[in-house]
Structure 1
Amino acid sequence: MQKANLKLRLTVMNFLQFAVWGSYLISLGGYMMGTLGYSGLQVGAIYGTMGVASLFMPGVIGIIADKYVNAERLLAICHLLSAAFLIGVSQNADYALAYPLFLLVNIFYMPTIALTNTISYSLMSRNNMDIAATFPSIRVWGTVGFIAAMWLVGLCGWAQSAMQLYVSAGLGVALAVFALTLPPSPPNKQVGPERSLASVLGLDALVLFKNYNMSVFFIFSMLLGAALQVTNTFGTPFLDSFKPDYADSIAVKYPTILLSLSQISETLFILSIPFFLRRFGIKSVMLMSMLAWVLRFGLFGIGNPGDGFVFLILSMIVYGMAFDFFNVSGSMFVDKEVDPSMRGSAQGLFMMMTNGVGAILGGFGSGYIVDLYKNAETQAVDWSPVWFIFAGYALVIAILFAILFRYRGDVATKQL
């Protein structure tokens, strides 16, 4: 296969992969709170299903792809099942049914993120392509797909309806069909070291908690992970709350368009990480991420679609630093500090702490805070104190991290 053709096909795969997610991830909270009347705790719990699924399913599906089933076929199966459950959610407004259905959506969607990487790496390696030089230009189209889906839902007026779920399901089916046209990525038949599910999930890396810096790092990964999806969960309901006073504002008419600036910022900040790491070091870059979360939440607290619109824009801009600087630099810290024999397990533990345990705690915790400031009669939320509480939480994390994390970058973690 010609390399240019393969790169195009992998680009399409990544575009569709994240368009499936972008169709509803940012707007779902507004639909559930505004149209369906869910409480903040219920919405937080729905978003927390991503964390529950991330605890175990990527590892399970990874083992299946490694040993039993072609990765592209597994990708198709997972997307078809996820799409089916999305349609089920769209037809069931009752929270008691929506929660288990959305858990099933994420059980089959979350592993597909790793599967697309597996397929890309496998096909590029077999075609003698430089992965480090080529893959970033392919993966960035995933973010473009996420943004494009957000814009489609926002401009078509589907952010407050179940149509966003149908769009996502349709894109998932399209990706499933497309995946079956890709060159095969079969299981690795070569004999190698046996990896248990515990190893894939990162559980055998728990021994790293014996090291002070690693234990502090993983604990703060969990604490910061609780903040990662808060604005994705409640950003749209927050902007929807301005409808009575700012009905003609772009921020109110097209909240997903405004929020998409966060993803655009993400693509720009990720390119700046090498410079910041060289200039300031890993600890400072991770600390910058935490302080950026303070700004992200605080600027939401003082922003509005009128004279405070500039604060909303600034909040979107700092999101890229907040989200990427800890995720990327944290992954690099783990890679640098652990023994190569434990590298995969340590990365699995990092992902489990941030996107698993942290996301679950953040979903329930943020939903509880939102409900505390909801008027029982009008159902309106007083959003400013909500955002300031989240900002204060991020600030406390930043201060404690600066004090407790004693990494200087010149002392290697002891091999355990």
Structure 2
Amino acid sequence: MKIQSTLKIMLFSQYFIWGCWLVTFASYAMGTLKFIGSEVGFIFSSLGLAAVVMPPVVGIIADKWISANRIYIFCHLISAASLYGMSTIADSSAMFWMMLLNAVAYMPTIALSNTISYFSLEKNGQGVLDFPSIRIWGTIGFIIAMWLISFLGFEVSRNQLYIASGASVFLALFSLTLPRVVSSAKSTKTTWLQKTGLDAFVLFRQKNIAVFLLFATLLGSILQITNTFGNPFLHHLAALPGAENSVIARYPSVLLSISQISEVVFILAIPFLMSRLGLKRVILLSMIAWVARFGLFAYGDFTSAIGVSMLLLSMIVYGCAFDFFNVSGSMYMARVAGEEMRASAQGLFMTMVNGFGLYIGSIISGHVIDYFTVNGVQDWSSFWLVFSCYALILAAVFWLVYRGESQESGQVSSASQ
């Protein structure tokens, strides 16, 4: 099998696993297990905790002591076991710890899959420019998984976890066929701070970068809210009188998958917009798109053509909201950091967004939905409007406070200097 085909299968499976449950687990937890919003938010906060700690630790081990392949296989076996364990639990506290175990195992595999891909491509005379056409299969895998779970009627069933667990076992076994990534045991002059990525915190000395990272954390707190609570919300709309005649209401995950499809489209526009508008305006567009994403959710429904159109438009605008921030922010961090700190800067950005931001957002959003719940019935419109207003205020403050890209691009030295 050609190396590109092998990597496509790996990345398809990598994100297929996540797509099986990430978007629909909250519907299972709230609809079947009867967890309340704050319990669901607390459970999902484990993803943020794992994102802060595990990727750099596993990255160091893979670079110096154990091959990335072996760690990758081990992590997916642990992930498979924890996903199965999640299917057997009906207590929210126990579910948090099992989800945390899964996150500790799964989150590092995202970076490891990239490492294996880059190494394999270079070993076969190809380069990083060949990676995007392979990485797109990860998005395809995520979408196919969402469709599968939806069409099988598993959105509120533990069966989604069984399928994800089985896919994890398959990927662990398939990974035995991947080219072995050779770890380097040679001593280097890198410091402990550089190895852990903590040297990137020197970037906070520059006010403009510190302000950007602060806003990155604040915006990161809302990035996963629709992934967590979007599916339960659509199930709520599907149960309302008048929605029974809507075909699309029967398959909420299929509708949500339009969000992932839109990502593929909007990401292509980022280089053009960054060169024409600059970072500040592109990030502002992302924040405004989040205002629209939440606002359209607040007024969308399955009972009218206008309501369905609002839901569809919300899915489409998600690509702009998510990609314009994540990708442009990553590009900005690559420019302002020196070459010796570029990887650490990327790690810092992801830690602020997917670590601290996700943790804060999960906890707060869970309590907000509980606040708008009376006698077990959620007021979803008010819930979404709260975060739409939050994004609007954040956009206004960002425009007033953030001065734009600094001119010291590439001049930031490492912490050791």
TM-score (normalizing by structure 1): 0.95
| One of 173, 178, 185 as aligned partner of 1:182 | 178
Q: Assess if the C-alpha contact under 8 Å between 2:60 and 2:196 holds in 1.
A: no
Determine the C-alpha separation between the residues in 2 that align with 1:57 and 1:236. Answer: 28
Q: Assess if the C-alpha contact under 8 Å between 1:26 and 1:236 holds in 2.
A: yes
1:243-282: CA deviation from partner (whole Å, max 9, x where unpaired): 1321332343110000000000011111111111122112
Partner of 2:78: 81
Q: Assess if the C-alpha contact under 8 Å between 1:58 and 1:114 holds in 2.
A: yes
Q: Assess if the C-alpha contact under 8 Å between 1:30 and 1:160 holds in 2.
A: yes
Decide whether aligned partners of structure 1 residues 380 and 324 sit closer, same or farther in structure 2, where only a CA change above 3 A counts. same
Partner of 1:369: 368
2:326 partner SS: helix
1:241 partner SS: helix
Tell me the CA shift for residue 342 of structure 1. Answer: 2.0
Instruction: Tell whether 2:194 aligns with 1:203.
Output: no
Determine the C-alpha separation between the residues in 2 that align with 1:84 and 1:216. Answer: 41
Mapping of 1:349-368 within 5 angstroms?
Answer: 349-368=348-367
Q: Assess if the C-alpha contact under 8 Å between 2:339 and 2:410 holds in 1.
A: no
Mapping of 1:5-404 within 5 angstroms?
Answer: 5-132=2-129, 134-196=130-192, 198-242=193-237, 243-245=239-241, 246-307=243-304, 308-375=307-374, 377=375, 379-404=376-401
Tell me the CA shift for residue 130 of structure 1. Answer: 2.4
Determine the C-alpha separation between the residues in 1 that align with 2:196 and 2:249. Answer: 41
Q: Assess if the C-alpha contact under 8 Å between 2:65 and 2:185 holds in 1.
A: no
2:177 partner SS: coil
Amino acid at match of 1:328: V
Q: Assess if the C-alpha contact under 8 Å between 1:201 and 1:349 holds in 2.
A: no
Tell me the CA shift for residue 415 of structure 1. Answer: 3.2
Determine the C-alpha separation between the residues in 2 that align with 1:259 and 1:178. Answer: 29
- Identity, % of aligned positions: 46
Structure 2: give runs of 5+ residues left out of the alignment.
none
Q: Assess if the C-alpha contact under 8 Å between 1:289 and 1:322 holds in 2.
A: yes
Q: Assess if the C-alpha contact under 8 Å between 2:292 and 2:388 holds in 1.
A: yes
Determine the C-alpha separation between the residues in 1 that align with 2:408 and 2:128. Answer: 30
Tell me the CA shift for residue 413 of structure 1. Answer: 7.1
Amino acid at match of 1:263: Q
Q: Assess if the C-alpha contact under 8 Å between 1:56 and 1:201 holds in 2.
A: no
Determine the C-alpha separation between the residues in 1 that align with 2:200 and 2:271. Answer: 27
Determine the C-alpha separation between the residues in 2 that align with 1:76 and 1:250. Answer: 40
Determine the C-alpha separation between the residues in 2 that align with 1:342 and 1:336. Answer: 11
Determine the C-alpha separation between the residues in 2 that align with 1:34 and 1:201. Answer: 41
Question: May I ask how many residue pairs the two structures share in their alignment?
Answer: 409
Determine the C-alpha separation between the residues in 1 that align with 2:227 and 2:106. Answer: 17
2:373 partner SS: coil
2:21 partner SS: coil
Q: Assess if the C-alpha contact under 8 Å between 2:118 and 2:127 holds in 1.
A: no
Q: Assess if the C-alpha contact under 8 Å between 2:56 and 2:196 holds in 1.
A: yes
Determine the C-alpha separation between the residues in 2 that align with 1:74 and 1:98. Answer: 24
Determine the C-alpha separation between the residues in 1 that align with 2:229 and 2:195. Answer: 32
Amino acid at match of 1:56: V
Determine the C-alpha separation between the residues in 2 that align with 1:42 and 1:150. Answer: 23
1:284 partner SS: helix
Determine the C-alpha separation between the residues in 2 that align with 1:389 and 1:272. Answer: 29
Structure 1: give runs of 5+ residues left out of the alignment.
none
1:147-192: CA deviation from partner (whole Å, max 9, x where unpaired): 0000000000000100000111011000000001111112024443
Tell me the CA shift for residue 193 of structure 1. Answer: 3.3
Determine the C-alpha separation between the residues in 1 that align with 2:119 and 2:275. Answer: 31
